[in-house]
Structure 1
């Protein structure tokens, strides 16, 4: 069954360049995904950075979803799905191209760039296409054409990332407003689980060194050069009831200042945006509510890419207009990056500039009866438990309060 939610609030088109205001003349710093800019002297750099972010919007005339019987456009229902693509797309850019990479119109790009774009092209065989996200959601109770919340799209992207053999991401979703360091390290360093077995293997071999590998991991098929799977950390949160609790505003701003920042997916009720930074009391975001024709890559994998980069002044909205249901994202390429992130989060938690949005703990709290609650595996079998955690708009979602 298809759920049509093509309401007037979801079908507006933002590709009318006259509606965008130029960036404000302000002495306040501009923060974009961990980088600081001056609005007075670095406007070109700000626009270049924003234009270089991957911009995924509504598309039309793509291959039908559901094998020829489903929709050929996601206009009106796919905005949160597109925001999920954007936050994950940035993780892939940071991983394969680096934070300093810039897109310049007409300039030849690296092969890795087109590999990233092809992972999101609107075709059923792309890793993170609208087809894959929508159809994966069906198995979790979301009909094609039904609107997702931030937590829903995070859970679906986690399942899809398992099949991405190129990037080999470790995508972790921290539930119950709690980030458990032990869980993440086990996910990103799976070779640690082999240490005990490797020690026994080495003992059986008479204590012989096994190919110079750490803990005998190589003997078990794990190379010693791969000690950390790049981490995408998504933290679904609800920062109030109908409006964002002002006690969290400064803490939310601080997230955009961290070098590991991937931004925030959220928005207004039934209207999703991808927030990449802030200036003063305004959030800077990419808006998926523009319907563009689907793009077909060439035989050699090249993609006409102009429409995947927003080339007008950035959208802005007052931070107090933000819907309280969000998901905050971070990317840690290495273990050192993650340790640095933990240090920064603990420092923020100890400051008096705002209430912490989530808790960082070393090991699993005793009230968590299953590690799966923190890090759902690809094969979901407990549908009742899934229903509790899958929707950020669910009334059972834990509310943060004073």
Structure 2
């Protein structure tokens, strides 16, 4: 009964008319998954949004899959929306990464969809024996639940926060990479520090002294030429996740211009967040309306045997929008940098954007090198006063 009511509500929402009209699209700032759409007729803009949206992998609640570890649950309806949103942003980055290599197999989409299938033949039990070599569904809901119980002592079938789902996906990716993503690394932080990202890309020590010293000597030095002393390893692509809050109980509207500029970056691959305890995968924006995929729809479970037959259940045609002022303050951004050139462009863009705002209107720390912090005292309310090194 609950599932029927939920799907009925979702179907009604899906059948409502598109709330973006042609007049709004005329001079609209439109960005979706790293693409900027402008200087086109309104109908063409709408068509491109539709094309990108309907080709993005959509992951929703599922039912009738094998029982989740240490529980009787055979559906994630009612609690798995952040988990599904996390799967969507990770599926999108994997899709972009594999396609950009231009050496992907013809069945790469099938393998990608299988990687997130729910009925994974009890493969999650192999995590207890460290034997995932032949795993074909490395990011299934069952494995996310199992790794979260093992590593984070998370109880079965609880709601996830953005940082919890991202950390679970990172651990699963470390254990078993999908074919074609062996050279992709995940970076999760609440700040953007170039030296940290650079070091992660090249597999260097995070506190590489050459990077730090050269930046201190010349803050204007071209960042692509910073570390020419270190013996560089083969660089990896980076999936950069920035987890942050843009307010306390509700969003701080002063943060929204900065948020929109991050959405406009070509490296942008989405936001996981939501509204009223409902998590969504946000793909971009049309002016002040956010484009999103909604996981709150219950579909039959997927296994590797029926992925082809049920392929259409992974894609949504009806574009949905939400007012940016109504989203919840706890969110996580996803960015993708294929190589050092892209990382440099990404950070250079952030530095330029940062110049346009006062500190109180920026919700994350951006710096070329990781600052040193130290305690300088305690105030009258017994709160620690922390001084950051000015770089």
Q: TM-score, normalised by structure 1?
A: 0.74
2:265 aligned with 1:258: yes
2:350 aligned with 1:345: yes
Between the aligned partners of 2:204 and 2:156, the Cα distance in structure 1 is 38
Q: For 1:201-216, what aligned pairs fall within 5 Å after superposition?
A: none
Deviates most, 10-19 or 73-82: 10-19
For 1:161, the equivalent position in structure 2 comes to: 173
Structure 2 contact 3–77 (Cα < 8 Å) conserved: no
SS class of match (2:75): coil
Give the Å deviation of 1:60: 0.5
Of residues 312, 317, 322, the one that matches 2:322 is: 317
For 1:33, the equivalent position in structure 2 comes to: 33
Q: For 1:193-232, what aligned pairs fall within 5 Å after superposition?
A: 227-232=234-239
For 1:79, the equivalent position in structure 2 comes to: 81
Between the aligned partners of 1:10 and 1:230, the Cα distance in structure 2 is 39
Of residues 78, 90, 93, the one that matches 2:92 is: 90
For 2:365, the equivalent position in structure 1 comes to: 359
Structure 1 contact 79–271 (Cα < 8 Å) conserved: yes
Between the aligned partners of 1:14 and 1:230, the Cα distance in structure 2 is 37
Structure 1 contact 297–304 (Cα < 8 Å) conserved: no
Structure 1 contact 275–286 (Cα < 8 Å) conserved: yes
For 2:60, the equivalent position in structure 1 comes to: 57
Give the Å deviation of 1:346: 0.5
For 1:211, the equivalent position in structure 2 comes to: none
Structure 2 contact 34–264 (Cα < 8 Å) conserved: yes
2:281 aligned with 1:274: yes
Give the Å deviation of 1:99: 11
For 2:213, the equivalent position in structure 1 comes to: none
Give the Å deviation of 1:180: 2.0
2:186 aligned with 1:190: no
Deviates most, 38-47 or 274-283: 38-47
Distance change (3 Å), C-alpha of 1:318 and 1:120:
same
2:205 aligned with 1:179: no
Give the Å deviation of 1:250: 0.9
Structure 1 contact 7–76 (Cα < 8 Å) conserved: no
SS class of match (2:47): helix
SS class of match (2:44): coil
Between the aligned partners of 2:3 and 2:274, the Cα distance in structure 1 is 16
Give the Å deviation of 1:329: 0.9
Distance change (3 Å), C-alpha of 1:132 and 1:303:
farther
Of residues 3, 19, 43, the one that matches 2:16 is: 19
Give the Å deviation of 1:23: 3.7
Of residues 285, 303, 318, the one that matches 1:296 is: 303
Distance change (3 Å), C-alpha of 1:10 and 1:159:
farther
What root-mean-square deviation, in Å, do the aligned CA atoms of Structure 1 and Structure 2 show?
3.1
Between the aligned partners of 2:97 and 2:4, the Cα distance in structure 1 is 38
Structure 1 contact 180–364 (Cα < 8 Å) conserved: yes
Between the aligned partners of 2:372 and 2:299, the Cα distance in structure 1 is 49
For 2:339, the equivalent position in structure 1 comes to: 334
SS class of match (2:10): coil
2:56 aligned with 1:43: no
* Unpaired segments ≥5 residues, structure 1: 1-5, 101-108, 196-213, 218-223, 370-402
Structure 1 contact 10–271 (Cα < 8 Å) conserved: no
Between the aligned partners of 1:44 and 1:24, the Cα distance in structure 2 is 13
Distance change (3 Å), C-alpha of 1:356 and 1:9:
farther
Query: For residues 81-118 of structure 1, what are the alpha-carbon distances to aligned partners after superposition, in whole Å with 9 as ceiling and x for unaligned?
Result: 00000110110111012499xxxxxxxx9311112111
* Unpaired segments ≥5 residues, structure 2: 124-136, 209-227, 376-391
Distance change (3 Å), C-alpha of 1:121 and 1:83:
same
Of residues 240, 246, 270, the one that matches 1:239 is: 246
2:165 aligned with 1:141: no
